[in-house]
Chains A and B, each alone.
Chain A
């Protein structure tokens, strides 16, 4: 079955702009989590969505937001981009939250802010 699909793979944006990233989970998976990966901070949890509701949120400013649609696809948005937002943004899907079920990661979206 198809894995987690993230689009686009690469993005270059200018400071102050906003960006929307998309994630399609594995078919049947209803939980989607987002992570930011940088060389300095490693993998940091952004938020998790299940049944179109945000269930958990990491320590990121309000410029980072997300949503989930009825088909479990998820988008994350970053507004007023800063240079420090340059990172690999990873999406992971799992069957449901609250359980120790395996999280499958997509290949990520590489965002560069210039």
Chain B
């Protein structure tokens, strides 16, 4: 089963706090791990992505930490802002024939309180 398990389902953080969302996978064929951010009424938008040969990637306030041996990866949002309130999806991508297939986690609804 090509599942990606994501937790927590919902998260409430105070403005300025750190938001942490965790994901775990089983299939070692996954070789690309993007995070998507989705606002109500919009499609998901790529936030940040990492490959398994890197343990951490930082872009502004967003950091992905990747633990290949544990098959886990997480998104950290530093100095969380009310504008970060959205649903976040982790995903894992693998080659499937001549194409690639994205498998998404179940999503985390983040609310940042002002």
Chain B residues 61 to 114 lying within 8 A of chain A, measured CB to CB, are 89, 93, 95-107
Q: Which residue of A lies closest to B96 (CB)?
A: A56
> Which range contains the number of B residues in contact with the other chain?
20 to 34
CB distance from A1 to the nearest CB of B (A): 15
Chain A residues 93 to 114 lying within 8 A of chain B, measured CB to CB, are 97-100, 102-108
**What DSSP secondary structure best describes chain A's contact surface?**
strand
Report how far A65 CA is from B32 CA in the complex, Å: 27
B45 proximal to A (CB < 8 A)? yes
5 more CB-based (< 8 A) A-B contacts, given A31-B99, A42-B106, A92-B43:
A35-B104, A98-B100, A102-B49, A104-B45, A105-B45
Chain A residues within CB distance 8 Å of chain B? 4, 31, 33, 35, 42-45, 48, 50, 55-56, 58, 90, 92, 97-100, 102-108
Chain B residues within CB distance 8 Å of chain A? 31-32, 34, 36, 41-46, 49, 51, 89, 93, 95-107
